[in-house]
Amino acid sequence: MIVGTKIPRKEGLQKVTGAARYVDDIVFPDMLHGVTVRSTAPRGKIKAIHFAPSIRWNEFTVITAKDIPGKNYVALITYDQPFLADTVINHPEEPVVLLAHHDKHVLEEARRAVTIEVEALPPVLTIEESLAKTQIVWGQDNSPHENIFKEYTVVKGDVAAAFARQDVSLFEAEYATGAQEQLYIENNGMIATYSAQDGVTVWGSMQCPYYVHKGLLPLFALGDDKVRVIQTETGGGFGGKEEYPTLLAGHAALLAMKAGKPVKMIYDRQEDMAATTKRHPSKTRVKSAVTKDGDLVGLDIDFVIDGGAYNTLSPVVLSRGTIHSAGPYHTPNVRVHSRAVATNSPPHGAFRGFGAPQSIFALERHLDEVARKMALDPVALRKRNFIRQGETTATSQTIREPVDLAAVLDKALAAADYDAKKKRFLAMNPSSVVKRGIGFATFMHGAGFTGSGEKTLASVVGVEALANGHVRVLAASTEIGQGTNTVFAQIVSDTLALPYDMIDVAQPDTRDVPNSGPTVASRTCMVVGKLVQSAAIGLEQTLVNAGDYKHGAGADAFAAACAKYIAKHGSLKCYSQYQQPANVEWDDKKYQGDAYATYAWAAYVAEVSVDMATYEIRCDDFVAAQEIGRVVHPVLAEGQIEGGVAQGIGYAIYEKVVWKEGRMANGQMTNYIMPTSADAPPIRVLFDEQPSPHGPFGAKGIGELPMDGPAPAILNAIAMALDVSPRAIPFLPEDLMALVKK
């Protein structure tokens, strides 16, 4: 078995030698560079575009909305976002003009020589303003849905009755989370070429080649076969290269078409931080009804996220946040009302966790507050309410697989030495300037697309055998650091009983690989991996049916059989398409049913110290325990968790987007603070395995999971250390000072 072992990462050697080719490493002959001129006001009407006479404009390729050959919208869930603003400005980084030139230094001067004259309109900059409808900035139609991209209501049981019970205590509080920048170290970048014969081809850093493909078709009014999208080695995504690359690919391709030359557009850090998507800020009001023994009998949650100026993926982010908001608890009566609202900041988008870290933060903080007010042990409170096999989630999904979150929690607490430390810290804190705390959070994370998402996607994966017996996986699922190439190769290797070295993964290129769906939602290993496995089985079956091969006959026999088959038929490929498992059902209207095929379950424990002289907060130790089905690759899996935890620590206590008039005012790495190696704590990762029938070899998704737990665990630890109730992240020293001085 290769699954479960630490086999070296497929593209590891290229990465450690510097040979891996990222988009900025690629140069075409006669290539131009492109830049974007953006609006500066958050909202308004474009009056004029001025090109200063100091620049020889005839040397430049210049594009405005008028040059767009097809439709000026980014085809996503709705068609509201233009590739280039034409008359209306909806956020301060709205692209308006594109410029290309062979000398990138001259280009920068030209960019500064374009002025966009905007007649400013009053912007809406916060969730509160948007809900108050101080201005209508999206969906003006005199309906209650103005400014609202999407709204869901989830109802289970009878919340009103639960809250009216005589034997319960009621709690209510509001929690807030800020925007977060993905901060992948490779900025967004694309290269595009155009020719009448081949149409548009783009190479770039991206998570979802077929999103880009879908977006470019209407922009150029071209047929499927005239748009080709190729993913280059991608230096991190975390959701930040899910929807945005479509926009950038469109821009590069528009310039390439007009210039008749290849055009490269690489954002610098400042532009990438300011203009591309970030995690949705959120507000969550949680009301709970709890019996004196600690039974959580009612939860009433109002969850709102700030979607920014355009719809983009907000409905899907909202959906995941909504479904995860009631946590891994079997609460009988739940109501969740959620909305994604419009504001005049750049659209917020996908970021690891996809709405779940926001609402989980609220609930896990809330439960600690409930425990504190009721003088209950927060561990006991959680354990009393954990979902067990056969019980139902907020969407009334019955958990059919075995689950023992209490055991996961015990494991985490033991590894963190929680009880002893808590006791010690409580004893020492009163006499110490540096206060220490320990806290935890328990949560679940659904793998794959929400609800009917996978059914709608109907993803396809192929495998191809070559005459030498090598097998190539054909999928649009991208390697963005998380290990797609390695995991796919492991799955095929074990499924076909062939050496790992005989398995390759094709570069995602829409000309050559089928649409295996986007690389998001922790779905690549579980959902796509399962398809890879069934395609591999199909391929082998073809050889078996031809009478030339028997499973397990070995690499040489396999190669011989492939050679024979290919000689006769020309090629050997097998495809597999997603089928909704029989017992998975989802009602999109009522938002009830099997929201996800399966869940990963986790308990994270954080230890913090707070210096009361400076209010500096440090996370000193971290334990992350989770049940993830099957660990396909221990090193990759630990790496995913550790990396996610570090991002979660940043989310909790370091990373603050400072907004000024809808734009990011601290868009440099020196002012937007992510943890360095000197800040990140030791992170201990523990796995439990409870194989799931939905993934290959029992694997579930883990990519997003680690983002959910750190923020509530850390804030719970701070709350313990200081006996305070912090309710908003990022929670910086300034915020702590304000809280304790109050």
CB of residue 488 vs ligand FES: minimum separation in angstroms?
A: 19
Strands (E), 329-411: 333-342
Q: Is 607 in the site for another protein (CB under 8 A)?
A: no
Residue 277 binds another protein, judged by CB under 8 A: no
* Spatial distance between the Cα atoms of 125 and 691, rounded to a whole number of angstroms: 46
Q: Which is nearer to another protein, 589 or 741 (CB)?
A: 741
In whole angstroms, the minimum distance from the beta carbon of 470 to another protein comes to 21
Q: Determine, following the binding rule CB under 8 A, whether residue 434 of this chain makes contact with another protein.
A: no
Sign of CA dihedral 322, 323, 326, 327: negative
Strand order in the sheet with 616-627: 434-447, 598-611, 616-627, 683-688
Nearer to another protein, 237 or 357 (CB): 237
Nearest distance from residue 671's CB to another protein, in Å? Answer: 6
Q: Which parts of this chain interact with ligand FES (CB under 6 A)?
A: 185, 236, 481
Reading the block at residue 65, the tokens are 């909305």
Among 398, 671, 693, 723, binds another protein (CB under 8 A): 671
Total residues at interface with another protein (CB under 8 A): 82
Smallest separation (angstroms) from ligand FES to the CB of 702: 17
CB-CB contact of 646 with 682 (8 Å): no
600 forms bridges with which residues in the sheet?
445
Establish if 676 lies at the interface with another protein (CB under 8 A).
Answer: yes
Q: Of these partners, another protein, ligand FES, none, which one is at the site of residue 646 (CB under 5 to 8 Å by kind)? A: another protein
Q: Does 396 bind another protein (CB under 8 A)?
A: no
Candidates 521, 646, 702, 705; binder of another protein (CB under 8 A) is 646
Which partner in another protein, ligand FES, none is near 219 (CB below 5 to 8 A by kind)?
Answer: none
Please list every residue from 702 through 741 that binds another protein, using CB under 8 A. Answer: 732-734, 737-738, 741
User: Is the link from the previous residue into 730 a cis peptide, with omega within 30 of 0?
Assistant: yes
Stretch that binds another protein, among 172-180, 358-366, 522-530, 641-649 (CB under 8 A): 641-649
Among 501, 682, 693, 723, binds another protein (CB under 8 A): 682
Q: Could you tell me the smallest distance in angstroms from the CB atom of residue 722 to another protein?
A: 15
CA distances from 648 to 69, 331, 447, 669, 727 (A): 43, 27, 19, 17, 16
Task: Write the DSSP symbol of residue 526.
Answer: I
Piece of 46-54, 57-65, 513-521, 676-684 that binds another protein (CB under 8 A) = 676-684
- Least gap, CB of 684 to another protein (angstroms): 9
Pick the closest to residue 265 from 511, 403, 83 (CA basis): 83
If contact means CB under 5 to 8 A according to the sort of partner, which of another protein, ligand FES, none does residue 18 touch? another protein
Q: CB of residue 436 vs another protein: minimum separation in angstroms?
A: 18
Q: Check residue 77 for interaction with another protein (CB under 8 A).
A: no
733 binds, among another protein, ligand FES, none (CB under 5 to 8 A by kind): another protein
**Min. distance of Cβ 169 from another protein in angstroms?**
36
Q: Cite the DSSP H helix spans in 670-732.
A: 705-708, 710-722
Q: Which of residues 185 and 428 has its CB atom nearest to ligand FES in the complex?
A: 185
Handedness of CA 633, 711, 388, 332 (dihedral sign): negative
CB atoms within 10 A of CB 372: 16
125 binds, among ligand FES, another protein, none (CB under 5 to 8 A by kind): none
d(CA 499, CA 603): 36
Helix 418-428, helix 405-416: angle, nearest 10: 50
647 contact, one of another protein, ligand FES, none, CB 5-8 Å limit per kind: another protein
What does the block give as tokens for 269?
């850090």
Which listed option, ligand FES, another protein, none, makes contact with residue 37 (CB within 5 to 8 Å by class)?
A: none
Instruction: Quickly list DSSP for 477-508.
Output: ---SSS-HHHHHHHHHHHHHT--GGGEEE---
Q: Is 52 one of the binding residues for another protein (CB under 8 A)?
A: no
Binds 16, which of ligand FES, another protein, none (CB < 5 to 8 A, cut-off by type)? another protein
Q: Does 184 bind another protein (CB under 8 A)?
A: yes
Cα(204)–Cα(188) distance, integer angstroms:
8
Q: Which residue, 153 or 614, has its beta carbon nearer to another protein?
A: 614
C-beta separation of 141 from 693 below 8 A: no
CB 653 within 8 A of CB 731: yes
In angstroms, what is the minimal distance from the CB of 481 to ligand FES?
5
54 is a contact residue toward another protein (CB under 8 A): no
Q: Does 269 bind another protein (CB under 8 A)?
A: yes
Whose Cβ is closer to another protein: residue 105's or residue 589's?
105
| Cβ–Cβ < 8 Å for 535, 576 | yes
Q: What are phi and psi of 574, to 5 degrees?
A: -140, 135
Q: How far apart are CA 509 and CA 451, in angstroms?
A: 28
Cβ–Cβ under 8 Å, residues 41 and 92? yes
CB 510 within 8 Å of CB 228? yes
Beta bridge pairs of residue 728:
176
Q: Are residues 336 and 154 in contact, defined by beta-carbon separation less than 8 angstroms?
A: yes
Residue 420 contact among another protein, ligand FES, none, beta carbon within 5 to 8 Å by kind: none
Whole-number Å distance between alpha carbons of 12 and 9: 5
Q: By CB under 8 A, what part of segment 320-339 binds another protein?
A: none
Contact pick of 275, 318, 503, 683 for another protein (by CB under 8 A): 683
Rounded CA gap, 544 and 255, in Å?
A: 51
CB of 15: closest distance to another protein in angstroms? Answer: 3
Question: Which of 616, 620, 661, 689 touches another protein by CB under 8 A?
Answer: 616
CB of 669 to ligand FES, least distance (A): 7
Least distance in Å: CB of 663 to another protein?
Answer: 12
| Residue 115 contacts another protein per CB under 8 A | no
Q: Which two tokens stand for residue 25?
A: 């490493």
Alpha-carbon distances of 405 from 372, 451, 509, 575, 602, rounded to whole Å:
22, 23, 41, 37, 7
Cβ 644 to another protein, closest distance in Å?
8
Alpha-carbon gap, residue 550 to 291, rounded angstroms: 62
CB of 668 to ligand FES, least distance (A): 11
Report if residue 638 touches another protein, rule: CB under 8 A.
yes
